[in-house]
Amino acid sequence: MKEAEVIVSDWEGYQRRDFKLDGYDCIVVEPKESYPGRPWVWRAEFFGAFDYADRALLEKGWHIAYIMVSDMYGCPESIGIMEKFYQYMTETEGLSKKADLFGFSRGGLYSVNYAVRYPDTISTLYLDAPVMDVTSWPGGYGAGARYPREWEECKEVYHLTEETALQFKGNPLDKMEALLKGNVRILLVAGAIDSVVPYEENGAKLAAFYEKNGGKIRVIVKQDCDHHPHSLEDPEPIVTYIMENYLNE
């Protein structure tokens, strides 16, 4: 793995480092003082967006880390890149062997697919209005609209056609049993009236499966919320769940 020149800057009072790993842009924000064991928030996508929980954990001593694998929709190649990033963060940076992986919106594709392959590397899987089925978003085969550019990108990275997409079995919803078997602990936050990534077609199916089968999950549904805003402006429930999981490893 090749790390290029590191650019150090201030990020709202914290030290931020930007660098490239095998050509992919990476960001690490360091806490003032690391929490014991050096835990970290791993943003799968959308660094800095609706980051109430990220910031609250940063204040408590969590690092924040991000590698940009945008427009890859959690395809196998992107998961391979993420695995290299994990190795770098744990071996070179010396962070905890258990990451708190945050999957917002399409970041749910990356997060679930990574967690299924490497369940032992995850402390908490925090999914926020997650995409769990590419035919729902960006495909638009359900209650939501199609996003044409994103759908074409998604089909390309998964080698799908319009016909084969409907039989695709590589969605996060197809991997719920593997998540459960991997003992992956999940926090799910979503809007009940999400018109972009409809909750009933995505997160609700995961919640129902986990609850029915005794999986470790906490679900927070915001009754009058659409796809945005993500997260919770008061992130205390998120932070508490993540810290409890980390302390009970």
Dump pLDDT digits (tens) for 73-119: 999 999 999 999 999 999 999 999 999 999 999 999 999 999 999 99
β-bridge partners, 127: 103, 188
Q: How far is CA 56 from CA 14, 34, 45, 139, 222, in A?
A: 13, 13, 18, 34, 20
pLDDT score, position 4: 59
For residues 44 and 49, what is the distance between their CA atoms, to the nearest angstrom? 12
| Domains of the chain with CATH codes | 7-247 (3.40.50.1820)
Q: Is a pLDDT exceeding 70 seen at residue 155?
A: yes
Mean pLDDT for 203-214 is 98
pLDDT tens sequence across 54-63:
999 999 999 9
Supply the mean pLDDT for the chain: 96
Q: What CA–CA distance (Å, rounded) separates 88 from 176?
A: 28
Residues 54, 58, 59, 61: is their CA dihedral positive or negative?
Answer: positive
pTM of the model: 0.96
Q: List, as one string, the DSSP characters of the chain.
A: --B---EEEEETTEEEEEEEETTEEEEEEE-SSPPTT--EEEESS-TTTT-HHHHHHHHHT-EEEEE--TTSTT-HHHHHHHHHHHHIIIIIS---SSEEEEEETTHHHHHHHHHHH-GGGEEEEEEES----TTTTTT--SSSPP-HHHHHHHHHHHT--HHHHTT---SGGGGHHHHHHTT--EEEEEETT-SSS-GGGTHHHHHHHHHHTT--EEEEEETT--S-S-S-SS-HHHHHHHHHHHHT-
CA 95/CA 83 separation, integer angstroms: 14
Residue type, 128: D
pLDDT range class, residue 5, cuts 50, 70, 90: confident
